[in-house]
Structure 1
């Protein structure tokens, strides 16, 4: 997750710590993990269920939460990039404590230069939510396209733009979204600012931050313009045999986030 300028008026180090704690403890992690690993990533793994020999770029990597999981799948090389220096500091501290061979870099996605050797997979979990306008969104997607080899994939998670306003109130699961300036009707215009608040294990709000909304059709147009052949939406899913499946019914039916898989 890129902090971007969303917490420019807050203590960024405090935000990084709060977000890390939420990421590791919040109850929606089982659903998100299941969706990423079982519904998005699994078709890209080899017969052994690994990413052996693959080069991966994890954008908006935050504290390296998913970067480490991807590395554990046996990829040959992985690089995590995030704009937030405090987030990368946390990731590097974890890497020093438990070395996995992950490279971390503080950088803005739109400033990344093309790699001399293309990547087999680029990931971006909660990256596009921070694009402040369509031009910046397109710039991000073009950078991703430039990093990928032909026929390779991008996978990501964003706020559930397909659900519209139904994604907003998920306080039960530790997250709320509110439109900064109230709107008439159900339609949400592109570029609408959305205030996201995460809640800790004591149900206390942490530092709020700003996301930006873009319609599904805008995303689909942007990915086509950037040279991708396809973009598939992947709704949140969960293991129906899990003991706590019923608890997540509301989260699945009115999911605050949604997955995306794009092929170059």
Structure 2
């Protein structure tokens, strides 16, 4: 992919992310992350006061800003896309005050100077093309976490089988280049993800890579994490359009991970 193609892809992905923020993200993804994953690590005031946070694969900084709003003392967002980081830094689109951003590839990033109290990575592992790349990502996260500190992540739902591949109702589909039997995909299987706009027209397609739940659990254990937990997607019970998301929850396209060093 040349630079012009990459810029066009990043800008399209940004537009889709903005669409998700008012569609799937708020009642489902946002609710799951904040209420089912992050909440247990907040202080009595519901904040991250005094915490150092690292947000990997931060994209245009949506969750970086969400985490900063919870009062952490320092937050760094890292993404390998210069276009996404430029959008994150652009005050025309976002308030990026007191947030530091960096363009870097986690797989080849040397250790940072100081450890973190919390590391997040939303859809980072989906881009590991080999098990060695997945291992290097998890090793970097482990090295940057303080002792007994926590990692929170979201990936494509590797526990969901074929049923989670078609979520076009919610603007996303997945397919493999080669057919497969049953629900078991080999590790490193390439999955083509296609995103659709509000008129159900394709916006962009890109590749993710599948690893089994067992592989994820083994990699985190090998690196040294003491605990590992899957967190299924949930919908905000108070959302007035909750029935619209029933199919999404039943065949969730994504799943959360919580791991403690």
Shared fold per TM-score greater than 0.5: yes
**1:196: which partner in 2?**
193
Q: Tell me the distance in 1 between the aligned counterparts of 2:110 and 2:145.
A: 12
Q: Deviations over 1:143-173 (max 9, x none)?
A: 0000000100110110000112121000000
**1:224: which partner in 2?**
221
Change (3 A) 1:150 1:98: same
Please give the residue correspondences for 1:65-144 in structure 2 after superposition, counting only pairs within 5 Å. Answer: 65-94=62-91, 98-144=95-141
**1:47: which partner in 2?**
44
Q: Tell me the distance in 1 between the aligned counterparts of 2:214 and 2:94.
A: 43
Alignment partner of 1:169 out of 161, 166, 172: 166
What secondary structure sits across from 1:132 in the alignment?
A: coil
**2:6: which partner in 1?**
12
Count of aligned residue pairs for this structure pair? 258
- Whether the 8 Å CA contact 2:88–2:96 is kept in 1: the answer is no
Alignment partner of 2:35 out of 18, 38, 53: 38
- Whether the 8 Å CA contact 1:71–1:100 is kept in 2: the answer is no
> Structure 1-normalised TM-score?
0.94
Q: Tell me the distance in 1 between the aligned counterparts of 2:244 and 2:141.
A: 36
Q: Tell me the distance in 2 between the aligned counterparts of 1:160 and 1:138.
A: 19
Change (3 A) 1:97 1:25: closer
**2:15: which partner in 1?**
21
What secondary structure sits across from 1:135 in the alignment?
A: helix
Which stretch has the larger CA shift, 179-188 or 72-81? Answer: 179-188
Change (3 A) 1:157 1:76: same
Please report the RMSD computed on the Cα atoms of aligned residues, expressed in angstroms: 1.5
- Whether the 8 Å CA contact 2:65–2:96 is kept in 1: the answer is no
Q: Tell me the distance in 2 between the aligned counterparts of 1:145 and 1:16.
A: 28
The higher relative CO (CA closer than 8 Å, separation ≥ 6) is in 1
Alignment partner of 1:238 out of 188, 211, 235: 235
Which stretch has the larger CA shift, 246-255 or 181-190? Answer: 181-190
Which stretch has the larger CA shift, 90-99 or 138-147? Answer: 90-99
Q: Tell me the distance in 2 between the aligned counterparts of 1:94 and 1:211.
A: 30
Q: Tell me the distance in 2 between the aligned counterparts of 1:163 and 1:47.
A: 35
Structure 2 stretches lacking a partner, 5+ long: none
> Structure 2-normalised TM-score?
0.95
- Whether the 8 Å CA contact 1:52–1:76 is kept in 2: the answer is yes
Which stretch has the larger CA shift, 177-186 or 146-155? Answer: 177-186
Q: Tell me the distance in 1 between the aligned counterparts of 2:240 and 2:7.
A: 36
Which stretch has the larger CA shift, 170-179 or 87-96? Answer: 87-96
